[in-house]
Structure formats: structure tokens, C-alpha cells
Chain A
Amino acid sequence: MKKLKGLSASPGYAIGPAFLLSQKDESPSLWEKGETALEILNEAKQKLGKELEKNVKETGKEGEIFFAHSLLLEDPEIWERVEAKIRAGSTLGGALEETRDEIVSLFESLRDERFKSRAEDVKDVMGRLVERLSESKKEDIPPAAIIVAEEILPSHILSLGRSNPKGFISEMGSPFAHSAIMARARGIPMITACRGISGVLKNGDMVILEGEKGEVIVRPSQRVLREYKRKIREKQMEEEEAFTKRFLPAITRSGRRIKVYANIGSREEIEEAREMGAEGIGIFRTEFLLFEEGKALNKEEHLEVYKKAGNTFYSLPVHIRLFDIGADKPLSFLQLPQEPNPALGLRGIRLLLRRREILLSQLEAIKEAHREYPNLSIILPMVSFVEEIKAIKKIAGDVSLGIMVETPACAILAPQMAELADFLSIGTNDLLQYTLAVDRAGKEVADLFNPRHPALWKLITMSIKGARRRGKEVGVCGEIAGEKAFIPRLVKMGVEHLSVSPRFIPIVKHIIRSLP
């Protein structure tokens, strides 16, 4: 038995036999040179072209990706390079690999993240071609296997669909890659950046995958296997029970009521949150409305969304977070300055105070909606100075005003902040990032992003105490608010609400009900 750690890309448990997808098969075609190599290449491209056409037809909206892939198959920028290398004496495999690396690094040198990420498409198309050329003696993939590969690409997830895989584990790759999004949409657990996994496995080895934790157990003992099978069964039963009771309040055994709110970021989630039993909206991440639309919403569009939220939740609170934008979440229509360290730059409330036109148009819409739906309130992102709250208070009218506690400065000054604010919500993801000085999206330091760090908990304690001393409501809205391991501690420390993704609401309520 052996345990390995990677990054969580799609949650859930899975148990099954491992199947290793080999991407670097030794194969004679790839060693060919000269004219023969060119002929083999053209034939393989034609076949792949037909396969891609089929993929486009099979997949509908998602198929746009494969349409782009089919264009790459005729892209002179790529194939002229490959051909030139072959003519200069390179092997087919070598020419493909070198060209792929060149094109990928070309993309990686771009500054815009959305253009950058297209490197993945080049990798996918060229990878498929190499796979085709590897004279695939592809053994049949057993059904219900856990697929292990150097990298999992969108085409893998599609082509493996028929064998009904239970989970995916990759040596490399980001949990934000397109393939991870596809795995989540299909409800298949996935772990990326699990270094060393293919070295310790052979086909058919039993594997347990724990999606949330990003943990893999290789060749578990019978005892551990039984334990996980039980865990999966229990989890299912627990979820069913939690779901049937989702509209009931969450009251601890000693009679304390903890409100469970939803974190949302789109129009659709307003309904979903209610359906899942939310007792309010803890954080409405309004900047996501902008990413979705790709443009500045006009006042009417804002108003419509806020009114819908106000109306759906009626007497229950809806905290509308002002746009949390910055160089780390770039918007093409905003023209933000490039910053060497966007997380520490102009973002959240800092940006809004500098760009009044954005702030005022959003605020006007909230104020107008508030006249009809007084359950709406404002919450400020990234507060680190008392003056920031004062500045908004001056123009917020009679809308109540909360703040996100996301910086150590805000937590340390919690009593002063709580004097001005009507409620506090602790955003533990950013608070952890800024407390530990560990980039929350950084691949190299991902293992250091540890919510158990005592410094985080000291700051949470300070925030809760500060708020309660001033008689203001305080809750937690970061990832940890939805995690079984942390909920008991947060409740014990005195939080009054927890705010989580809509789908976690039933289970969070269920956990609270079991607490003393």
C-alpha cells in the first residue's frame, strides 16, 4: 500500500483498477525519416481529420474545441515546421515533439491567459497524432477503470467515455485545465499533478482516489479497501438524508441555530441556491456576471439580476459583493494596468475606489433594487483600510454594508472594522493566501496552501471576537466553510453563518445538526 498526493481537480471518491495510458510508446513509425516519414505523417493527418469531424458532430456545443483542432491540423505554422525538420534529417517523432514544444512555448510567452491556454489545443492535436503513429496496440481499456496518464487531455475524456472510467489521475496538468472542467461536469473524480504515480503502478493495480483531498492510495490493503467502500456507501446515505432535510434549519444539539447561505456567481445559481435550501446569499460574486457576458453590463441588466435575487429570497439576506476585479481576473473591456504582483495590486475595493464610474454604476443599481427589496445588502471585497469602508458608507445610502475579511490587516483591526460595518464575512481562501504569503493558484507552492495553519485560525478568532464585541453578525464564506473537517471548529468558535456553494448546503446543514 502506498499513498500519493496531487491536486484536487474534480471531487468525489473512486475505487477501481488502474489503467496506464502510455503516451510515449516506442514505435517504429516515429523513427522513420525522409520521404517515408512525410507520407506516414500525411496519412495520419488525414485519418485524424476524419476522426475530428466525427468528434465535432458527436459533441454539439463542446465540439467547437474539436473544430479548432481540425483547423490546427491544416495550420501551416505547425506543419511547415514539422516538414522542414524532417527534410533536415529529423525523425518523424523528433520533428513532431520539437515543433510541439516550439509552438507551446510561443503560446506560453503570451501575456493574456485566455490566449495562453490555447497551447493545450496544440498539445492535444499533436498528442493524438503521435498516439495514432504509435501503432497503437491499444489494449482494451477495462470498464470502470481509473485512468492514469502523464497528462489527461480533453480528447481522452471523450474517447474514454465509452469505457465508463471511474476516475482520472495525471502526473502533470493544472486543476484549471479544460480537461478538469470536463471531468467535473461529468462528475468523475480527478487528481492532477500527482508526481510519480505512473512509476508505482502497473495495469490492474487497485487504486483508491479521494478527489477532494487530491489523494491516491495505491494497492490498498483489504482493510483499507473495505473502509473506503463503507465510506462511499455511508456518504451516499448521508447525502440522501441531508438532501431530504435541506429546507429545515440547521440547529446544533444544544439548540444553536447556524444559518447556511449560498455563495453564487450567476443568475442561474439564484434559483439553484434556493432549491438546495439556502437561507440567504452569503456572497453574490457579481464580477462573474461580467466574465460570463464579457462586457460591462448596463444598469438595467444589473438591476434585473439584483431584483431577481431579492425577490427569490425575499425576507432572507442577499449580500451583493461589489465587483472583485483586478489584474488577476482581467476583463478585456476594462484596460487594467499590468502589475508584477496582481494579488497585491489594484483589486477589489481598491480598484473600485480608483475607478469610480464602475463603482457608481453598480451602486446605483443596488440602491434602486434595494428600494423594492430591502433584504439586499452590499459587501466589500479586499478591505485592508478603515477608510475604504468609510468611503463607501458615504455613498451607500441606507443599504446595509458588510465587509469581507480577506487580509490579515482587516482581521487584526476587526473591532475597528466591525464598528463601521454591519456584518463581517471571513473569506478564508484569500486570507490564507495573504497570511502565509502562498499564492492560492501557484502550482509550485500548492502543497503549502494549508488551511490548518495556526496563523489562519488566530486571525479567524480575532475576526469573530472583533465582530461579536460590536454585536455584528459574522460568518465564514471560504472553502473551509464547506469542509467537514473544519465546520465543528468554526461553529464552536462562534460563527453565526456559513456560506458555501449551493450543492454543499444540504450536507453542511446535516453536519451542523450533528454538533453538540
Chain B
Amino acid sequence: MLKAKLKLTREDGLHARPAALLVALIMKYPGLNVLLEKDGKEVNGRSLTAILTLQGEKGDVIGFTIDGESEDRFWEDLEKTIQGEVIQIEKT
């Protein structure tokens, strides 16, 4: 199991577009459980609606819990996305 805290650094936080791209990434790993947490509220990373209800804005810190098959590969993939243009997240 992997745990990390990431800070949203883009203006559009976890709005529709970045949230959709994150969900699409998680969907590529069917054997993996990804949970996102903000202010004590924890949601399933495969659910776009649940992620949107977190209302992640720029500056918010999102906790990730990653559990299951190919955790490490997913983490690398996520980091690639992070460093790319899509969802800029900064580890805390």
C-alpha cells in the first residue's frame, strides 16, 4: 500500500477536466484501489462524481491511498501525469 499527500497547484484544481483525466488514468489499472481524501472526506478514485464533490481547488491538499496490483507502476504513471501539463500536483 502506498500513501501520499499531493497539493493541487493548477488554477483549475480538481475541476471537470483534470478530474476526468485522473479518473481515466485510474481506469487503466483494474486491479487497483485508489482512494482520494480531502478534509477527512474519502472517495473512490474511479468515481468522477465523487471526486468532483470533493471540490478540490488550487492550494488544497489531497491524500492518495493506493492499494493493489501494480501500485508502483501506477505511481510512476501518476507522477508522469503530474509533471506533465495535465494535473500539476506537488508532493507534500
The 13 sampled A-B contact pairs (Cβ below 8 Å) are A67-B24, A68-B48, A71-B23, A71-B48, A75-B47, A75-B50, A76-B46, A107-B49, A112-B57, A115-B53, A115-B55, A118-B49, A295-B11
Taken together as a complex, chains A and B put the C-alpha atoms of A293 and B10 apart, in Å, by: 12
Binds A, one of B13-21, B66-74, B75-83, B84-92: B13-21
From 14 to 61 in chain B, residues with beta carbon under 8 angstroms from any chain A beta carbon are 15-17, 20, 23-24, 27, 43-44, 46-50, 52-53, 55, 57-58
Interface size class of B (residues with CB under 8 A): 20 to 34
Q: Which one of B27, B46, B55 contacts A110 once the chains associate, using CB atoms below 8 Å?
A: B55
Residues of B within 8 A of A111 (CB): 55
Please name the 4 residue pairs, one residue from A and one from B, whose CB atoms are nearest each other, closest first.
Answer: A77-B47, A294-B11, A77-B50, A71-B48
Contact indicator B12/A106 (Cβ below 8 Å)? no
Contact indicator A78/B49 (Cβ below 8 Å)? yes
Contact indicator A67/B53 (Cβ below 8 Å)? no
Contact indicator B49/A74 (Cβ below 8 Å)? no
Shortest C-beta distance, A139 to chain B (Å), equals: 34
Shortest C-beta distance, A513 to chain B (Å), equals: 46
Given A76-B44, A77-B44, A122-B49, verify A71-B55 contact (CB < 8 Å).
Answer: no
Taken together as a complex, chains A and B put the C-alpha atoms of A481 and B31 apart, in Å, by: 61
Shortest C-beta distance, B86 to chain A (Å), equals: 13
Contact indicator B44/A71 (Cβ below 8 Å)? no
Taken together as a complex, chains A and B put the C-alpha atoms of A107 and B53 apart, in Å, by: 7
Given A71-B20, A115-B15, A294-B11, verify A103-B49 contact (CB < 8 Å).
Answer: yes
Contact indicator A68/B55 (Cβ below 8 Å)? no
Given A76-B44, A77-B44, A77-B47, verify A332-B13 contact (CB < 8 Å).
Answer: yes
Contact indicator B53/A74 (Cβ below 8 Å)? no
Instruction: Say whether A316 faces chain B, with CB atoms less than 8 Å apart.
Output: no
Additional A-B contact list (18), CB under 8 Å, known A77-B44, A295-B11 = A64-B20, A68-B16, A71-B24, A71-B27, A72-B48, A74-B27, A75-B50, A77-B43, A78-B47, A106-B53, A112-B55, A114-B15, A114-B16, A115-B52, A115-B55, A118-B49, A122-B49, A293-B11
Is the contact region of chain A dominated by helix, strand, or loop, or is it mixed? Answer: helix
Shortest C-beta distance, B44 to chain A (Å), equals: 6
Contact indicator B55/A76 (Cβ below 8 Å)? no
Convert A100-141 into 0s and 1s, putting 1 for each residue whose CB lies closer than 8 angstroms to a CB of B.
Answer: 000100110011101100100010000000000000000000
Residues of B within 8 A of A293 (CB): 11
Taken together as a complex, chains A and B put the C-alpha atoms of A76 and B16 apart, in Å, by: 17
Residues of B within 8 A of A110 (CB): 53, 55
Shortest C-beta distance, A79 to chain B (Å), equals: 10
Residues of A within 8 A of B11 (CB): 293-295, 332-333
Interface size class of A (residues with CB under 8 A): 20 to 34
Shortest C-beta distance, B72 to chain A (Å), equals: 24
Residues of A within 8 A of B43 (CB): 77
**Max chain B Cβ within 10 angstroms of own Cβ: one of A74, A115, A294:** A115
Residues of A within 8 A of B49 (CB): 72, 75, 77-78, 103, 106-107, 118, 122
Contact indicator B16/A118 (Cβ below 8 Å)? yes
Q: Whose C-beta in chain B lies nearest to the C-beta of A68?
A: B20
Shortest C-beta distance, B54 to chain A (Å), equals: 9
Taken together as a complex, chains A and B put the C-alpha atoms of A236 and B54 apart, in Å, by: 50
Residues of A within 8 A of B17 (CB): 64
Taken together as a complex, chains A and B put the C-alpha atoms of A459 and B46 apart, in Å, by: 56
Convert A332-349 into 0s and 1s, putting 1 for each residue whose CB lies closer than 8 angstroms to a CB of B.
Answer: 110000000000000000
Shortest C-beta distance, A466 to chain B (Å), equals: 42
Taken together as a complex, chains A and B put the C-alpha atoms of A71 and B25 apart, in Å, by: 11
Shortest C-beta distance, B58 to chain A (Å), equals: 6
Shortest C-beta distance, A110 to chain B (Å), equals: 6
Contact indicator B50/A332 (Cβ below 8 Å)? no
Contact indicator B46/A75 (Cβ below 8 Å)? yes
Residues of A within 8 A of B53 (CB): 106-107, 110, 115
Residues of B within 8 A of A75 (CB): 46-50
Taken together as a complex, chains A and B put the C-alpha atoms of A129 and B49 apart, in Å, by: 17
Residues of A within 8 A of B16 (CB): 68, 114, 118
Taken together as a complex, chains A and B put the C-alpha atoms of A152 and B57 apart, in Å, by: 30
Shortest C-beta distance, B19 to chain A (Å), equals: 8
Residues of A within 8 A of B20 (CB): 64, 67-68, 71
Shortest C-beta distance, B60 to chain A (Å), equals: 11
Residues of B within 8 A of A115 (CB): 15, 52-53, 55
Q: Whose C-beta in chain B lies nearest to the C-beta of A295?
A: B11
Taken together as a complex, chains A and B put the C-alpha atoms of A393 and B60 apart, in Å, by: 39
Residues of A within 8 A of B47 (CB): 75-78
Contact indicator B58/A332 (Cβ below 8 Å)? yes
From 348 to 402 in chain A, residues with beta carbon under 8 angstroms from any chain B beta carbon are none
Shortest C-beta distance, B39 to chain A (Å), equals: 14
Residues of B within 8 A of A106 (CB): 49, 53
Q: Which one of A74, A78, A118, A332 contacts B52 once the chains associate, using CB atoms below 8 Å?
A: A118
Shortest C-beta distance, B42 to chain A (Å), equals: 13
Taken together as a complex, chains A and B put the C-alpha atoms of A294 and B12 apart, in Å, by: 7
Taken together as a complex, chains A and B put the C-alpha atoms of A332 and B14 apart, in Å, by: 12
Taken together as a complex, chains A and B put the C-alpha atoms of A333 and B8 apart, in Å, by: 13
Shortest C-beta distance, B66 to chain A (Å), equals: 17
Shortest C-beta distance, B62 to chain A (Å), equals: 15
Taken together as a complex, chains A and B put the C-alpha atoms of A72 and B17 apart, in Å, by: 13
Residues of B within 8 A of A295 (CB): 11
Residues of B within 8 A of A67 (CB): 20, 24
Shortest C-beta distance, A334 to chain B (Å), equals: 11
